Amino acid sequence: MNNDQFSTTGKPKSRSPTRIAISGVFFFALGLTIGMIFCLNHKTLFFNLQINDIFFRREVLLESEQLSPPPLPIGKNSTPTRPVKYGAPPLVIRTDMELLWRASVAAESEESKNPDKPKLAFMFLTKGNLSLAPLWEKFFKGNEGLYSIYVHYDPHFNGTVPEDSVFYGRRIRSKKVEWGKISMVEAEKRLLANALLDYSNQRFILLSESCIPLYNFSTIYTYIMNSTLNFVEVFDDPSYVGRGRYNTEMGPTIELDQWRKGSQWFTIDRRLAGQVISDEDYFPLFSRFCMGDCYSDEHYLPTLVYMKYGASNTNRTLTLVDWSQGGPHPMAYSSSSITASVLEEMRGAGTPCRYNDFERNDICVLFARKFDEDSLVGLLDLEPRFMQFNR
């Protein structure tokens, strides 16, 4: 026991008023400090929760899988990975949530309304190597400044691209895509979002590694840029591979008579591209209820466009795909089937067709698929006489 606490009579010592006052001030200050820290932390936590809530819905694309390897180095001809004059974001966007958010801002920017040189955004969705790249190289040559390229590879693809190629540095951050699954639509949104970050991109074309152009660049550029409408194939299929894929859980937001089908290969304008990446009404329903044999890539965009943007759509695609053989996959073209007459027949497909406010009998499709790797030699041989990329 500490004897300093007691007087010589054995009674406790009385504290002076000054010591009592100092002690009171000390404990008051301590309590005030603890309270302020608690309130500050609580406010910060509440703010963070609000932010997370705001952006959580834009995180729909993120999957429960490991992050893909970082993108390849960006080439010297690359588009900046952020909107011009938009804050000071990181130079590398690492999550789909951040990408979609920034792209939605860029989509509505005033600077994107009237660019000096409007560009076509060519978006390639591929598993691996772009085997027809030499043909596309000739197609793009001499048209620099009028196009942008974006490639969504499989995240495990380790192939390289020559530095002098138009495809060099055009790889975007990607995730695994499964045929017929919602991940296919996620990849399309990822491509659109990356392309929207460039204010000059005014039209957006989805292609695969097996697609080819049927005309030269100037013809395709003029046709698409002069169009006042979008090119998304939309139709009502009453069969089991159409309406039969509808899930009643999608109602009442999407009813059976609103369910549509179409090709996934689209060409759309900047306004519709911005609406697609910002969609929070229909995409979550497809993520939850379009599974198994539903094939989201054949129904999501056609249904969305039909329900909200039908007046600005032609209901047709610019990419020819031959389904005449039946089955789950279209006809594939190899070296033995590549002739001038075959390509000429492809050019005439779909005629006549609606173009703006009139009918066209000459050009209704601009691209075609599905061409095997070994068809490249035949295509390169026919190009000077048929496609005439140098004109």
In total, the chain counts a number of residues equal to 391
Confidence at residue 43, expressed as pLDDT on a 0 to 100 scale: 44
**By three-state DSSP, how is residue 270 classified?**
helix
Helices 300-308 and 270-278 cross at an angle (nearest 10°) of 110
Alpha-carbon distance of 218 to 214, in angstroms, equals 12
pLDDT per residue over 213-268, tens digit each?
Answer: 999 999 999 999 999 999 999 999 999 999 999 999 999 999 999 999 999 999 99
Confidence at residue 79, expressed as pLDDT on a 0 to 100 scale: 39
DSSP class of 293: G
**By three-state DSSP, how is residue 306 classified?**
helix
pTM: 0.77
Confidence at residue 113, expressed as pLDDT on a 0 to 100 scale: 82
Alpha-carbon distance of 287 to 294, in angstroms, equals 11
In which element (H, E) is residue 225 found? Answer: helix 217-225
Pick from 75, 85, 135, 143: which is nearest to 112 by CA?
Answer: 85
Pick from 102, 161, 91: which is nearest to 149 by CA?
Answer: 161
**Residues in the chain where the model's pLDDT stays below 50:** 1-15, 40, 42-91
Confidence at residue 195, expressed as pLDDT on a 0 to 100 scale: 96
Question: What residues pair up with 12 in beta bridges, in sequence order?
Answer: 6
Pick from 278, 261, 188, 266: which is nearest to 224 by CA?
Answer: 266
Confidence at residue 50, expressed as pLDDT on a 0 to 100 scale: 40
Confidence at residue 140, expressed as pLDDT on a 0 to 100 scale: 97
Confidence at residue 30, expressed as pLDDT on a 0 to 100 scale: 64
Confidence at residue 330, expressed as pLDDT on a 0 to 100 scale: 80
Do 170 and 75 touch, CB atoms closer than 8 A?
yes
Do 63 and 175 touch, CB atoms closer than 8 A?
yes
- Tokens encoding 95: 């999550």
Alpha-carbon distance of 259 to 251, in angstroms, equals 11
